Amino acid sequence: MNFNKDNKSKKYLRQLAVNKKVSDARQDGLENCICNRKRGLIFCASCQKSFMGRTAERCAAHPEVAYLMDARNCAFCGAAGKDLRMTDPI
Ligand SMILES: [Zn+2]
Ligand SMILES: [Zn+2]
């Protein structure tokens, strides 16, 4: 077995995954992971306000997929993601 060759092909596969765009990712079984989580009310523990959206989370299965609309900071006071809490999806 040629380990060197094997490593190269794995690296190539990983680069392919990185180059994938969000539109392709839907075919990778996103239904059951946090990529497909619902929008809802986000509560900010810092300013006690809430707003609609999703907290930004990096999916372990699809780390290459980034959702630009996800909230990384509070829309009102700009608090970091650690102060944002998702409430139940509506
Ligand atoms: Zn995912
Ligand atoms: Zn806030």
d(CA 46, ligand 2 centre) in Å: 5
| Strand (E) or helix (H) holding 8 | helix 3-19
- Distance from C-alpha of 76 to C-alpha of 65, rounded to nearest angstrom: 26
d(CA 68, ligand 1 centre) in Å: 14
Is the overall model pTM greater than 0.85, yes or no? Answer: no
- Distance from C-alpha of 6 to C-alpha of 31, rounded to nearest angstrom: 31
d(CA 89, ligand 1 centre) in Å: 18
pLDDT, tens digit, 9 for 90 and up, residues 72-89:
999 999 999 999 999 865
pLDDT, tens digit, 9 for 90 and up, residues 23-71:
454 456 777 888 988 889 999 999 999 999 999 988 999 998 888 889 9
